[in-house]
Structure 1
Amino acid sequence: LGKARALDALAQSEYFGAMPVPLDVYREQVKRQSVKNMQITRSQLEGAMGHLVLPNELIGNLGPAVSAGRSILMYGPPGNGKSSISNGIRDALGDKIYVPRAIEYASQVITVYDPIVHSAAEDDTQDPNALRRITRFDSRYVKCERPTVITGGELTLNMLDLVYNPTARTYQAPLQLKSTGGIFIVDDLGRQAEPPQSLVNRWIVPLEENKDILALQSGEKFEVPFDTLVIFSTNFHPNEIFDQAALRRIFYKIKIDGPNQKNFLKIFAMVAKKRKVPLDEGTLIHLLKHKYPTINNVFANYQPIFLIDQMIAICEFEGIPNQMSPDLIDRAWANMFVQDEKIIK
């Protein structure tokens, strides 16, 4: 009889681990540690982005958006740090939350904790003089840094649905549920196989009502909390990829432009110092007077790193100390842009 009952239980689910947290209990926990309860100060945001050279007004625009915990769309030319800014926002959050190993709804187990997404915090409750570990929180949860899920061109709509494991008869939480209490970054929006409009349409209910709707294998649908700071990042102008109804649901739209010449030189000097390449005034004058006018003096944040790394590679190949010169800049520049060529038949 015991074997029969065990087999019956295994037929329903082969989940093995900590007791799943009931969905209603999980909802209350999400409210207690909501990302919308975070209050980010200017000093926190500046500290997390201290390695970036940003316009002063940009921090003033980002701060209220992060503190509000509402969706953010960052747009602008490629290579100007949208991804780095997203990571800086993640670092500014700084505190810890409790992530359930699994949740349960209608006798179905949904695993949430994912070591790839969630960074378990070091156990600070250990007494070095104690003979055994003392756990001061519900062990059905894992104490973690606020999670960050980063997706790019690989994102598809089915990645936002429950994934059923027919062998274990359990479900894997979708990406947005794993990011609860943290940040969901959709990088390079417009490069996915799905149209940007379709992706944003999938987020309309979550963004407006702070809840998401998932479906079991049986077709039964149920609500889960949606408590995530969603950051969209794109190189396209918003009007090119969204209609006005979609734009209305994205609360903050922040343009990330390239640096001006002063900030470009500041970034160039910082990168050169970090890479241990001596600055050369003649090289910089050559770069500004002869190279950038060919592209209408359009500066981008990625360019100093690209140019300096190219010069280092050349120096290493030629067996000379790291340095910069007009000739090296010319060779590096040739690899940064592909010039149009006329095909002669």
Structure 2
Amino acid sequence: MTDTARAPPTSRVCIMGSGAEVDTNFDRLDSRSHNGQARFPPESVCIEFCTRKIRATIFRDGMGGVAIIGCGSEWNSKSPHSLGWERLLMLTPPVPTTQAASTLTDPATHRPTDAVTIRERSDRQTSIERLVEPVADTNHDLDRPAPIPAPRSPKTWLESGLSQAQLSDLLLKMLFVHGVQLGSELARLTRLPFGVVEEPLRSLRDQRLVEVSSSDLAGRVSYRFGLTESGRVRAHEALEHNRYVGPAPVPLEQYIEHCQLQQITGTRCTPAILQAAFQDIVIRPAMLDQLGPAVCSGKSIFLWGPPGNGKTTIAKGLGRYLNRFANEIYVPYAILVDNCIVTVFDPGIHQTTDDTDLAQRGITAPANGVLSGPVQDGPIDLRWRRVRRPVVVTGNELTLDLLELKYHKPGNFYHAPLQIKANGGLFLIDDLGRQTVRSQDLINRWTIPLEESVDYLTLANGRKCMLPIEQLTVFATNLDPQQVVDEAFMRRIKHKIHIEAPVREQYAAIFQLACRQQEVPYDEAMVEELLQKYRDLGRIPRSSDPRDLLSMARSICRFHELPFTLNTNLMQDSASRFFDAA
């Protein structure tokens, strides 16, 4: 084959799971055979999606489609663990070459990072913070509760909850994008046992939409399946219906059933466990006594109080509790709602714990990066990922649109909203009353989820679908509650907790902790001088002040090229600057 002299087209592809779209220019279009079908050569690319990078291979199909297929891993400098992206992500036809290339947008209102701020680059920015970094559980005396029963692997296509036609369409799309594939590879791509996809493949062969090019003595699982000309036409029709090509979706009924098994109320929360979760946070025992029953209820919490006194810090502690001491849960890649695909699993929010298990079963590449052998059957449904309970935080950038299904029009599928991705974990709406949307509209939006633990979402065709809300929902504000919410809303909130300013002993403990974190010796005399300055100025100390004062002092020392040690002059200078600015 020779190079084709054509202007490089621009194509738009969507990275499933992240919601990112990227326009990509192809510099050359020489064709060659790939997996037995006419393909243009793959181009290895590394797409930098904010602070996370995704390595992928781009294939251009002879019929005008473009596919990005993960072939490597995504990584983050702060968290070197690898997440496999071995499934096909998206297929779309090329767009006119006049369209601007090399742009990166975020239509799903999130970007995956491990530390985590996720921002939508639009007029209404959204930030979501995963507040808790993965940490080793050093509290061996505080055992995790019994694991939640894993979804059972289906043995037949009937047990999968999908129709034979739905499985057939998914298989046709996979063969169209990936080319000729072994039966074992199709099982890997769909995350279903070969016994489940075998009957749809046999039906496709009978209809002469799929053919077998070769096989060996290992049986049907070793057959090489490829599309016939009629099969390629049918695959195009399936792609017109929706362009999702990934792990087989889970029926809504199965998703609802498993969400009920994964309620927060099923976690074990005791004073000792909660104290361990807050061991790096200065918090009064009386506050833990209020938080504990609220967590055990698994319902809603309303935090209010003056700014800078630890509402977000409390969310960190609750997130640490869920990550370290609560049992893990299962999240599906996608669910099937009224014959529509809704993606749920989000690597930017859901921290997986089953990577080793998947590598052992041949689903993802092991440490050496080489897939070998067939997929090993097991009792767990591989359409689900085992994850730590998610902790999602959104603040004053929250709009009503972010609580609705995100429709991806080119692909004709949906991304789940934030509250669905937070199922089984914690969803914090911070800075309530400071959103661009009216507070009354926002709290009205939460009336049914708080009352009935379900949410009614609207599909593009106007039909409503009911999805479960099984999470610990936390509202936080530094405004007067009477200015933000009405009495009817407060009645629906099960636990109201007032976050007060720290007393002297608590302020000193916070200052000591901040000194330890800043690696500077603690001096109690400095604390007394600061408290006296508070009294002189008629100010009330805030829990965040020690951290901010020490940061100010460090900046002063850095500017004057002095060692960072606390002394009276430095603290007076820092306090004067800090209080004048405040």
* TM-score bracket for the superposition, by shorter chain length: over 0.9
Residue of structure 2 equivalent to 1:268: 511
Residue in structure 1 matching 2:341, options 101, 109, 127: 109
Once the two structures are overlaid, the 10-residue window that deviates more, 37-46 or 79-88, is 37-46
Higher strand share: 2
Q: Distance in 1 between matches of 2:465 and 2:527?
A: 60
Residue of structure 2 equivalent to 1:256: 499
Once the two structures are overlaid, the 10-residue window that deviates more, 192-201 or 221-230, is 192-201
Q: Distance in 2 between matches of 1:136 and 1:322?
A: 57
Q: Distance in 1 between matches of 2:232 and 2:522?
A: 76
Q: Does 1:74 align with 2:303?
A: yes
Residue in structure 2 matching 1:180, options 417, 423, 438: 423
How far did residue 215 of structure 1 move?
Answer: 0.7
Map 1:234-313; keep pairs closer than 5 Å: 234-289=477-532, 291-313=533-555
Residue of structure 1 equivalent to 2:234: 5
How far did residue 3 of structure 1 move?
Answer: 3.0
Q: Deviations over 1:36-79 (max 9, x none)?
A: 32231111111111111111110000000011101001110111
Q: Distance in 2 between matches of 1:201 and 1:278?
A: 50
Q: Does 1:119 align with 2:351?
A: yes
Residue pair 1:97, 1:181 contacting (<8 A) in 2 also? yes
Q: Does 1:37 align with 2:266?
A: yes
Residue in structure 2 matching 1:86, options 315, 325, 344: 315
Once the two structures are overlaid, the 10-residue window that deviates more, 36-45 or 147-156, is 36-45
Q: Deviations over 1:78-123 (max 9, x none)?
A: 1111101112112212321110000002211000011111111143
Higher-Rg structure is 2
How far did residue 126 of structure 1 move?
Answer: 7.2
Residue pair 2:432, 2:484 contacting (<8 A) in 1 also? no
How far did residue 272 of structure 1 move?
Answer: 1.5
Q: Distance in 1 between matches of 2:330 and 2:398?
A: 26
Amino acid at match of 2:347: P
Residue of structure 2 equivalent to 1:150: 393
Amino acid at match of 1:317: F
Q: Deviations over 1:220-249 (max 9, x none)?
A: 001111111101111012112111011111
Residue of structure 2 equivalent to 1:343: none
Q: 1:274–1:149: structure 2 CA closer, same or farther, 3 Å change rule?
A: closer
Q: Distance in 2 between matches of 1:281 and 1:222?
A: 59
Map 1:308-323; keep pairs closer than 5 Å: 308-323=550-565
Amino acid at match of 1:333: A
Amino acid at match of 1:67: C
TM-score with structure 1 length normalisation?
0.92
Residue of structure 1 equivalent to 2:572: 330
Q: Distance in 2 between matches of 1:70 and 1:111?
A: 25
Residue in structure 2 matching 1:207, options 450, 460, 469: 450
Higher helix share: 1
Secondary structure in 2 matching 1:16 = coil
Residue pair 2:457, 2:467 contacting (<8 A) in 1 also? yes
Residue pair 1:282, 1:325 contacting (<8 A) in 2 also? no
Q: Distance in 2 between matches of 1:247 and 1:283?
A: 42
How far did residue 285 of structure 1 move?
Answer: 3.5
| % identical equivalent positions | 37
Map 1:185-200; keep pairs closer than 5 Å: 185-200=428-443
Residue in structure 2 matching 1:57, options 283, 286, 293: 286
Residue in structure 2 matching 1:46, options 255, 267, 275: 275
Q: Does 1:224 align with 2:453?
A: no
Amino acid at match of 1:119: Q
Residue pair 1:183, 1:228 contacting (<8 A) in 2 also? yes
TM-score with structure 2 length normalisation?
0.56
Q: Distance in 2 between matches of 1:339 and 1:214?
A: 45
Gaps in structure 1 of 5+ consecutive residues: 341-345
C-alpha RMSD of the superposition: 2.1
Q: Distance in 1 between matches of 2:460 and 2:426?
A: 28
Secondary structure in 1 matching 2:315 = helix
Residue pair 2:332, 2:385 contacting (<8 A) in 1 also? yes
How far did residue 31 of structure 1 move?
Answer: 1.3
Secondary structure in 2 matching 1:294 = helix
Once the two structures are overlaid, the 10-residue window that deviates more, 291-300 or 66-75, is 291-300
Q: Deviations over 1:139-163 (max 9, x none)?
A: 1011111112110111000100011
Residue pair 1:71, 1:252 contacting (<8 A) in 2 also? yes
Secondary structure in 2 matching 1:110 = strand
Residue in structure 2 matching 1:96, options 328, 347, 351: 328
Q: Distance in 1 between matches of 2:551 and 2:232?
A: 65
Higher relative contact order (CA 8 A, sep 6+): 1
How far did residue 136 of structure 1 move?
Answer: 4.8
Q: Distance in 2 between matches of 1:279 and 1:36?
A: 41
Q: Does 1:164 align with 2:396?
A: no
Residue pair 2:281, 2:317 contacting (<8 A) in 1 also? no
How far did residue 262 of structure 1 move?
Answer: 1.2
How far did residue 212 of structure 1 move?
Answer: 0.6
Secondary structure in 2 matching 1:337 = helix
Q: 1:124–1:157: structure 2 CA closer, same or farther, 3 Å change rule?
A: same
Q: Deviations over 1:284-317 (max 9, x none)?
A: 333222x111343511111111111211221222
